[in-house]
Amino acid sequence: MKAVRFHQFGGPEVLNYEDIPDPQPRKDQVLVRVKACSLNHLDLWVRQGLPGVKLPHIPGSDIVGEVLEVGEYVSGIKSGQSVIVAPMHFCGHCAKCVAGLQNQCREFTVLGNAVDGGDCELFAAPATNVIPVPDSLDFNQAASVPLVFVTAWHMLVGLAQLRPGQTVLVLGASSGVGIAAIQIAKMFHCRVITTAGNEEKLEKARTLLGADHGINHYRQKISEEVRKITNKEGVDIVVEHVGAATWEESLKCLKTAGTLVTCGATTGSSVGIDLRHLFARQLRLLGSYMGTMGELNEVLGHVFAGRLKPVVDRTFPLSEIRAAHEYLAKSQMFGKVVVNP
Ligand SMILES: [Zn+2]
């Protein structure tokens, strides 16, 4: 099959579109013909070198395709079905996994991170990871969903315990997690303030996703605008994934006993914290990583019902993976970048 692999870490130039042997699925696996795989910022970190990534490596986390073969031990899945492959790897039998807390499994990793991903033509997936997709979604839309929607759902619903009527600040309206988090918060009848680097993105956040207020983070100071919008009170929840560039502002935006939940550090991972603010303002700081299979199924239910919408920015042929990585790195998109084998 054709696959994208890199044999050394580095820039987009290390990505090779090459021929490799077809995967040999186990009897408890399903062989999927990959139709679409969406990119995440994780792809860029993995390519640049993360601990645990073995070379050569196939990147790509969000796999959607058609079932080609069903293993002897697998039931309930038919060949020809359109499926999403849950973008996570876990052991399936430890105490955490059987409790449904797959993202706390010691073997947990994201597909395409410490294990090979889906930037290829064929993918052998454990049957437990395979979720049928209704006809209402095309392959590119479906591939835009899993990683970012399960991440945002776990952050807001699983960890921050989002409740109707709260005010939520979502950083990065045009990012995958931002697009998911804004829609989830609106579905819970919350007031949503979001940020972006230009007016066009802020307008899309309002009209496409339902955000109530937009802040241009190049022209306005986030904490000052949030103070104005909330009548000096601050927000209940901040959805962070930007990191060093926004950390201090994010903390300033919280009301007393507010919650900051973070799943990323795109602009840098070292930040400071004044402990006096942490305890005196009774802040809650939560670290979030992906989500559980239960949460993925829950959020997919809302997507399949049309209450949450995937947003595809642009597609590339898999053979143009270097251009796709370069495009993602520029952060000019609104929505997901998808590659098609
Ligand atoms: Zn486990």
The pair of structure tokens assigned to 144 is: 């835009």
DSSP string, 281-314: TT-EEEE--S--HHHHHHHHHHHHTTSS---EEE
Question: How far does residue 292's CA lie from ligand 1's centre (Å)?
Answer: 11
Question: How far does residue 96's CA lie from ligand 1's centre (Å)?
Answer: 6
Look at residue 102 and give its three-state secondary structure: helix
pTM over 0.85: yes
Per-residue pLDDT of the chain (341 residues), as tens digits, is 999 999 999 999 999 999 999 999 999 999 999 999 999 999 999 999 999 999 999 999 999 999 999 999 999 999 999 999 999 999 999 999 999 999 999 999 999 999 999 999 999 999 999 999 999 999 999 999 999 999 999 999 999 999 999 999 999 999 999 999 999 999 999 999 999 999 999 999 999 999 999 999 999 999 999 999 999 999 999 999 999 999 999 999 999 999 999 999 999 999 999 999 999 999 999 999 999 999 999 999 999 999 999 999 999 999 999 999 999 999 899 999 999 99
Over residues 121-151, the pLDDT tens digits come to 999 999 999 999 999 999 999 999 999 999 9
Q: Which residues, chain by chain, have CB under 5 Å from ion ligand 1?
A: 90-91, 94, 97, 105
Question: How far does residue 151's CA lie from ligand 1's centre (Å)?
Answer: 19
CB atoms within 10 A of CB 269: 10
The pair of structure tokens assigned to 8 is: 């050394």
Question: How far does residue 89's CA lie from ligand 1's centre (Å)?
Answer: 9
Distance CA 192, CA 183 (A): 9
Half-sphere exposure of 165 (CA within 13 A, CB side): 0
Over residues 39-53, the pLDDT tens digits come to 999 999 999 999 999
CA-to-CA dists, residue 297 to 245, 257, 283, angstroms: 33, 30, 30
Q: Is the preceding omega at residue 51 within 30 degrees of 0, hence cis?
A: no
Q: Which residue bears the tokens 């038919």? A: 78
Is 235 in contact with 208 (CB distance < 8 Å)?
no
Question: How far does residue 29's CA lie from ligand 1's centre (Å)?
Answer: 17
191-195 long-range contacts (CB < 8 A, ≥24 apart) are 191/165, 191/166, 191/167, 192/167, 192/168, 193/167, 193/168, 193/169, 193/225, 193/226, 193/229, 193/230, 193/235, 194/169, 194/170, 195/169, 195/170, 195/171, 195/222, 195/246
- What DSSP state is assigned to residue 6? B
